[in-house]
A and B are shown apart, each in its own frame.
Chain A
Amino acid sequence: GAGVSQSPSNKVTEKGKDVELRCDPISGHTALYWYRQSLGQGLEFLIYFQGNSAPDKSGLPSDRFSAERTGGSVSTLTIQRTQQEDSAVYLCASSLRWGRGDTEAFFGQGTRLTVV
């Protein structure tokens, strides 16, 4: 596609429910990142994929959070048993490859998650 696409753009869910957030990276981009932006805060790194593998999951806040990537393309971030502190904007980014610092990371518009 033309850019990184995330869906849904907005999600309101009840506390305790599970949610799935989707990211469609730019075609051909092998690196994919998930970040979380809480209100008035910077971006908190969650997880990174190179291809389908996630070398580092240490940024995931708890074991309620998981992510997968299939076919080296679409990624899904799943939050189980959502809590109010999970409310944030979840941003996905992709880049051509991770090893080149001068390679731009393109961000999606984000999914605004509200847990009520």
Chain B
Amino acid sequence: GEDVEQSLFLSVREGDSSVINCTYTDSSSTYLYWYKQEPGAGLQLLTYIFSNMDMKQDQRLTVLLNKKDKHLSLRIADTQTGDSAIYFCAERGSSYKLIFGSGTRLLVRP
């Protein structure tokens, strides 16, 4: 079935790069997404990548996709304290559903 897995926690120092990893099982995934959830807030779409791409860059964010290994990563350059949040990986395959991982809590230390 469809499954998305992420590590639960990541702690980095302000100014360093953060790399959040995700693996998925649905080989028919067409789009993969990264969402950000700040405390007490809803989910905000950060970026997405189409499955025929292997990289997408958007300002401080870089998404890497290894379709063979079904591995997705989100790199945040020059991480700031405002980046502290929970980051969810999600995939959409042949169905209409967005399947989410359990989220990675990013803590940015001053």
**CB-based contact B41/A41 at 8 Å:** no
**CB-based contact A109/B42 at 8 Å:** yes
Interface of B is mostly: strand
For the complex formed, measure the closest distance between the CB of A89 and the CB atoms of chain B, giving whole angstroms: 9
A110: contacting residue among B42, B95, B98, B101, CB under 8 A? B42
The residues in A between 1 and 51 inclusive whose CB is less than 8 angstroms from any CB of B are: 4, 31, 33, 35, 40-43, 45, 48, 50
Q: Mark A63-96, 1 if CB is under 8 A from B, else 0.
A: 0000000000000000000000000000101000
**CB-based contact B30/A101 at 8 Å:** yes
User: Which of A91, A93, A105 counts the most B-chain CB atoms under 10 A from its CB?
Assistant: A105
**CB-based contact B88/A91 at 8 Å:** no
Tally of A-B Cβ pairs under 8 angstroms: 56
Does B34 touch A at the CB level, under 8 Å? Answer: no
A43 to B91, CA, bound (A): 12
Known: A43-B88, A102-B48. A33 touches B98 (CB 8 A): yes
**CB-based contact B42/A107 at 8 Å:** yes
A104 to B44, CA, bound (A): 10
A41 to B50, CA, bound (A): 26
For the complex formed, measure the closest distance between the CB of B15 and the CB atoms of chain A, giving whole angstroms: 28
**CB-based contact B96/A42 at 8 Å:** no
Which 6 A-B pairs give the minimum distances between C-beta atoms? A101-B31, A42-B102, A43-B100, A107-B42, A107-B43, A98-B96
A sample of 14 cross-chain residue pairs with beta-carbon separation below 8 angstroms, ordered by A number, consists of A4-B42, A31-B96, A40-B102, A42-B4, A42-B102, A48-B97, A55-B96, A101-B50, A104-B48, A106-B45, A107-B35, A107-B44, A108-B42, A109-B42
Q: Give A contacts to B, CB under 8 Å.
A: 4, 31, 33, 35, 40-43, 45, 48, 50, 55-56, 59, 91, 93, 98-99, 101-102, 104-110
